[in-house]
Amino acid sequence: NNYAAQKQQEINEEQVVMMNQLGDAIQTYLTKFQEEKEYAMILTNSGGAPVVAADASLDITDTVLAGLNEEYIKSKNNK
């Protein structure tokens, strides 16, 4: 049981590190994206407070996801 608990703790710690790396990568990309596209603000819906009504043309989710995927592929190819 002690060994299993220790391994579970190690997995949890690795998961925290990976989530931090992911968050940093997203933040870095969004900062670059904001500067290039000259957006005054980029909003997120991660807190569960949805946007009730908005112009659909302002939704850049698909564009951001495509860019993040491109960055991920580039980083994998560089390794």
Task: Look up residue 3 and give its two tokens.
Answer: 């060994």
CA distance 72 to 68: 6
- Confidence band (pLDDT; 50, 70, 90) for 49? low
∠ CA 25-45-31, nearest 5°, is 35
Residue 6 has pLDDT above 90, yes or no: yes
CA-CA distance, 40 to 37, in Å (whole number)? 9
Q: How much is the pLDDT for 44? A: 83
CA distance 7 to 63: 39
- pLDDT tens digits for 26-46? 999 999 999 999 999 998 877
51 or 36, which is more confident?
36
C-alpha to C-alpha distance for 48 and 20, rounded to whole angstroms: 20
